[in-house]
């Protein structure tokens, strides 16, 4: 049996994922978590082959959680689930150690297929993500400016573009306002932008915010 845990802050989403996963006789649900601390307790107390992880977990960003899981529980395969399009986070997630990336609007049978694939220690990527990976390998110089940002810088940029104040961003990312200001400055420098308005315009133009 493939032992699976589900981490998502929405109870309805967790229930739906669990019901879909249980349709396969090869999958056994071993636990669910709504935030970072409860997830870490689950992983310490039980064995998990595949973790279904929402990229927008409260208390700690999904990419950060992914890095921790990858380091502390190397045998656990992480399948990232997200409402964000693949071109926003898929490459970052795979580079951070994810075994696959699936958007939440995917067909239910895709979820079971993805779980079975990563459980066999294989990567699960869609044709679109495969094309994106090929593009990155062929020419890093052709990458968009935001792709040069670190994960924290990218998160900060997106939150600024969504209209949040630095204090709100600091709270959401569990950082100090001063640290967020440093990330903002790095974003402006790396992307050669002048202010928050230009950050917002860039993010909207590149489909990085809803």
CATH number of domain containing 73: 3.40.50.2300
pTM of the model: 0.73
Q: Is there a domain that residue 14 lies in?
A: yes
Provide the 8-state DSSP code for 128.
H
Q: How many helices (H) and strands (E) does the chain have?
A: 10, 5
* CATH number for the domain that contains residue 187: 1.10.10.10
Residues near 148 by beta carbon (within 8 Å), at least 6 away in sequence: 190
Q: Is there a domain that residue 28 lies in?
A: yes
Tell me which residue of 121, 101, 98, 120 sits closest to 111, measured CA to CA.
101
Task: Check if the beta carbon of residue 160 is closer than 8 Å to that of residue 199.
Answer: yes
Residues near 205 by beta carbon (within 8 Å), at least 6 away in sequence: none
> pLDDT > 90: what percent of the chain?
56
Cβ-based neighbour number of residue 96 at 10 Å: 19
Lay out the sheet containing 50-54: strands in order across.
27-33, 2-7, 50-54, 77-82, 100-103
* 8 and 55 inside one domain: yes
* 20-29, 37-46, 143-152: the lowest-pLDDT one: 143-152
Is the per-residue pLDDT at 11 higher than 90?
yes
Burial of 170 (C-beta count, 10 Å sphere; 0-12/13-18/19+): buried
* 132 and 178 inside one domain: no
* 32 and 127 inside one domain: yes
Q: What is the pLDDT of residue 132?
A: 67
**pLDDT tens readout for residues 139-197:** 554 567 887 888 889 889 989 999 999 999 998 888 899 999 999 999 999 999 999 99
Please state, in angstroms and rounded to a whole number, the distance separating the CA atoms of residues 98 and 90: 9
Element (H, E) at 6: strand 2-7
Domain that holds residue 161: 145-205
Helix 166-173 and helix 177-191, axial crossing angle in degrees, nearest 10:
110
Tell me how many domains the chain contains: 2
Q: Is there a domain that residue 210 lies in?
A: no
* 53 and 154 inside one domain: no
């Amino acid at each position: 049996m493939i032992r699976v845990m589900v981490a998502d802050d929405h109870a309805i989403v967790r229930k739906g994922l669990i019901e879909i996963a249980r349709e396969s006789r090869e999958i056994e649900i071993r636990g669910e978590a709504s935030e970072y601390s409860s997830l870490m307790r689950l992983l310490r107390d039980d064995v998990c082959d595949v973790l279904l992880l929402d990229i927008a977990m409260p208390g700690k960003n999904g990419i950060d959680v992914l890095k921790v899981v990858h380091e502390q529980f190397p045998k656990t395969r992480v399948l990232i689930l997200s409402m964000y399009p693949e071109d926003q986070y898929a490459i970052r997630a795979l580079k951070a150690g994810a075994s696959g990336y699936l958007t939440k609007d995917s067909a239910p049978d895709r979820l079971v297929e993805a779980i079975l694939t990563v459980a066999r220690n294989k990567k699960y990527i869609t044709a679109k993500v495969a094309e994106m990976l090929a593009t990155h390998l062929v020419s890093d110089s052709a990458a968009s400016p935001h792709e040069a940002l670190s994960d924290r810088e990218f998160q900060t940029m997106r939150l600024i573009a969504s209209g949040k104040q630095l204090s709100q961003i600091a709270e959401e990312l569990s950082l100090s306002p001063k640290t967020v200001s440093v990330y903002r400055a790095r974003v402006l420098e790396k992307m050669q932008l002048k202010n928050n308005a230009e950050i917002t315009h860039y993010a909207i133009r590149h489909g990085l915010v809803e």
